[in-house]
């Protein structure tokens, strides 16, 4: 009995849970909102809605009911717009202008259909579109005038016609002639007119929105030729321009043709081309194309009515463009085998191709296009890098610039390729082989001289004794600290200036540098302040630290060989390098240049001819 009671309780609990879950999962109708209507025009509008909740079941249909009465879900038209939740919209078309329409969104699931709030909108109505037609059938006392309704604005044109009178704004002060309703052309013949007056008229059309007017037109029963002005050309380019005119008066009768005569000579109405640009009064314009650059053109506006043709003043303009202008600029990056040439080109508003012509004579023979060719701007810098040149060779070059108006050449200019970086060797009379290097237009030894003989095979006096050295007034040489083994191959010999003065010290075809040779070297390297660092061997294997600024960029390998003083003593090894010049400064002194371990500049001075210093030979 107790077990049965427990089973009953459990069964009852399960039934309650089942019923509760069933109630919780029961679906309801969806929730939907009607969206505001937008993009409202004469005959169309955008409508829609949003399903915000599907009610627990799939949305099988959604859309809009619409019509011209309230409760469109009963009296209107159903427009289905998809399924599911979210925003939906559609554009209604073929509506009637000026009518109120009612809108209501709906959404359906398997439980039922829900509706959004009802809203409404009214389609637009515009003013009619009407033009005033030019006068026709003009006599001394009659004229036919009229208009044309081209668009009713979305609602029936209830009335159309003409206002006319002897004053401007005839719709305010003149006579009204009603000429029917609806779309299309209409006309009326005025009678009993007088040649003493200018008459003004304007067409009108009226719908529910209001009244629209065409342009005001004037005429006279005793007409004359029109009045026309030539407007100066604008937006002038190298091959186009906008030209035009203004018919300020039709002369009392319709202007049937207007336009421009144009050409490259004066009196274009007789020598040029006729360009028709419509009819009637007012401003007119057109664009001439395919013109020639840098050319003078002449213009004259014209306007024609039944009385005759009138002309405006003659105007002229010049299309943009001239032959280019060219100027040679300083070349850069001159090396043994290549160079960068530069120039300045003014294209004068025309696309201009630019090239550099070059060769070993003024016949040139080779050319290369400028990097930024063609150019179109003024004062454009152009350049071209030429490769594959021959070292130490004179070249001629010039700029060639070409546009539609012609070819222009710059003046001839020249450059001579250098021998920088070109290595070689030279052998002295003793058989010592020296490495050489080109720097600018000079070829230098990259090692200090170490010969014991002149180039004519005569021996140079070796002087070891200090006292003898100090008294020496003739040629003599030595090795630093009189130690040939330690110093000869690295630092070379130390020679007094009397040896230099013989003119026989360097190998045949070479010489001890002059002051001018030394200055040329320094100038090529950017000046004395830069030259020292560029010439010194880098590092501190031979130079004392810090060896300031040393890069040896040109492989000159300048070493600190020290010197022998006029008293015969030695000093300054690793601290400074000293090299004789061939220049005889005075009776007791001669010029030399030197480099220091703690400076990046190079220095020139003079010193007693008895000193023993290094020699760097330069090729003749």
Rounded CA separation 151/128 (Å): 5
Say which DSSP state 39 is in: S
pLDDT at position 2 is: 41
| pLDDT tens figures, 9-51 | 444 444 443 334 444 458 999 999 999 999 998 889 999 999 9
Q: What six digits make up the tokens of 470?
A: 């100090």
CATH number of 129-220: 2.60.40.10
Q: What is the pTM of this model?
A: 0.57
- From residue 71, give the alpha-carbon distance in Å to each of 62, 101, 121, 461: 17, 11, 14, 132
pLDDT at position 578 is: 98
pLDDT at position 144 is: 93
**Residue 599 near residue 607 (C-beta atoms within 8 A):** no
Range 227-318 has CATH code 2.60.40.10: yes
**Residue 80 near residue 47 (C-beta atoms within 8 A):** no
- Dihedral pair phi/psi, residue 18, rounded to 5°: -65, -45
Q: CA neighbours within 13 Å on the CB side: how many for 250?
A: 24
- From residue 126, give the alpha-carbon distance in Å to each of 45, 96, 450: 15, 12, 108
Same fold, 31-122 and 325-416: yes
pLDDT at position 284 is: 97
Q: Specify burial of residue 397 (Cβ count, 10 A radius: 0-12, 13-18, 19+).
A: buried
Rounded CA separation 103/81 (Å): 14
Say which DSSP state 481 is in: G
Rounded CA separation 267/262 (Å): 9
Give domain limits for the chain.
Answer: 31-122, 129-220, 227-318, 325-416, 423-619
Within 10 Å of residue 483's Cβ, how many Cβ atoms?
11
Rounded CA separation 299/229 (Å): 11
- Quick one: fold of 325-416? Immunoglobulin-like (2.60.40)
Low-confidence ranges of the chain (pLDDT < 50): 1-24
- Quick one: fold of 31-122? Immunoglobulin-like (2.60.40)
Q: Where are the beta strands (DSSP E) in 475-575?
A: 477-478, 494-495, 510-511, 561-564, 570-573
At residue 310, the 3 state secondary structure works out as: strand
Say which DSSP state 4 is in: H
pLDDT at position 138 is: 80
């Amino acid at each position: 009995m107790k077990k049965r009671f427990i089973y009953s309780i459990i069964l009852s609990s399960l039934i309650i849970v089942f019923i509760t879950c069933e109630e919780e999962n029961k679906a309801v109708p969806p929730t939907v909102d009607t969206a505001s209507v937008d993009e409202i025009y004469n005959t169309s509008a955008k409508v829609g809605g949003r399903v915000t909740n599907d009610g627990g079941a799939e949305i099988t249909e959604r859309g809009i009911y619409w019509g011209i009465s309230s409760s469109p879900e009963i009296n209107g038209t159903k427009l289905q717009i998809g399924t599911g939740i979210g925003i939906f919209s559609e554009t209604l078309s073929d509506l009637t202008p000026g009518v109120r329409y009612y809108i209501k969104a709906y959404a359906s699931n398997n439980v039922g259909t829900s509706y959004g709030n009802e809203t409404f909108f009214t389609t637009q109505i515009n003013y009619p579109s009407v033009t005033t037609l030019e006068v026709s059938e003009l006599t001394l006392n009659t004229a036919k005038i009229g208009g044309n309704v081209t668009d009713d604005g979305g609602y029936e044109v209830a009335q159309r016609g003409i206002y006319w009178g002897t004053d401007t704004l005839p719709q305010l002060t003149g006579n009204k002639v009603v000429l029917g309703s609806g779309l299309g052309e209409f006309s009326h013949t005025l009678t009993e007119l007088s040649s003493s007056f200018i008459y003004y008229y304007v067409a009108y059309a009226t719908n529910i929105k209001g009244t629209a007017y065409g342009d005001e037109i004037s005429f006279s029963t005793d007409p004359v030729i029109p009045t026309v002005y030539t407007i100066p050309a604008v937006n002038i380019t190298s091959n186009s321009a906008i030209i035009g005119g203004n018919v300020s008066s039709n002369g009392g009768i319709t202007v049937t043709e207007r336009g421009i005569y144009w050409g490259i000579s004066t009196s274009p109405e007789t020598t040029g081309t006729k360009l028709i640009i419509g009819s009637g009064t007012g401003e007119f314009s057109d664009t001439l194309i395919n013109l020639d650059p840098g050319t003078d053109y002449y213009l004259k506006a014209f306007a024609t009515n039944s009385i005759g043709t009138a002309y405006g003043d003659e105007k002229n303009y010049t299309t943009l463009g001239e032959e280019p202008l060219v100027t040679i600029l300083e070349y850069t990056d001159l090396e043994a085998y290549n160079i960068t040439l530069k120039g300045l080109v003014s294209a004068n508003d025309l696309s201009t191709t630019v090239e550099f012509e070059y060769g070993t004579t003024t016949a040139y023979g080779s050319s290369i296009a400028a990097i930024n060719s063609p150019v179109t701007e003024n004062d454009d810098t152009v350049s071209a890098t030429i490769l594959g040149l021959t070292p130490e060779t004179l070249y001629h070059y010039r700029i060639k610039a070409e546009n539609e108006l012609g070819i222009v050449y710059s003046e001839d200019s020249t450059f001579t390729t250098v021998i920088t970086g070109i290595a070689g060797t030279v052998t002295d009379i003793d058989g010592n082989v020296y490495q050489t290097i080109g720097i600018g237009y000079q070829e230098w030894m990259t090692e200090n001289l170490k010969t014991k003989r002149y180039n004519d095979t005569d021996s140079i006096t070796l002087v070891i004794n200090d006292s003898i050295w100090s008294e020496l007034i003739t040629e003599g040489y030595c090795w630093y600290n009189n130690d040939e083994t330690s110093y000869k191959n690295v630092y070379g010999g130390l020679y007094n200036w009397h040896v230099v003065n013989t003119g026989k010290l360097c190998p045949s075809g070479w010489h001890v540098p002059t002051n001018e040779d030394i200055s040329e070297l320094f100038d090529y390297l950017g000046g004395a302040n830069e030259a020292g660092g560029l010439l010194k061997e880098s590092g501190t294997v031979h130079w004392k630290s810090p060896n300031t600024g040393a890069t040896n960029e040109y492989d000159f390998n300048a070493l600190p060989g020290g010197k022998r003083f006029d008293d015969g003593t030695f000093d300054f090894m690793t601290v400074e390098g000293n090299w004789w010049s061939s220049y005889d400064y005075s009776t007791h002194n001669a010029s030399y240049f030197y480099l220091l371990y703690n400076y990046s500049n190079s220095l020139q001075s003079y010193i007693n001819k008895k000193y023993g210093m290094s020699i760097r030979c330069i090729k003749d």
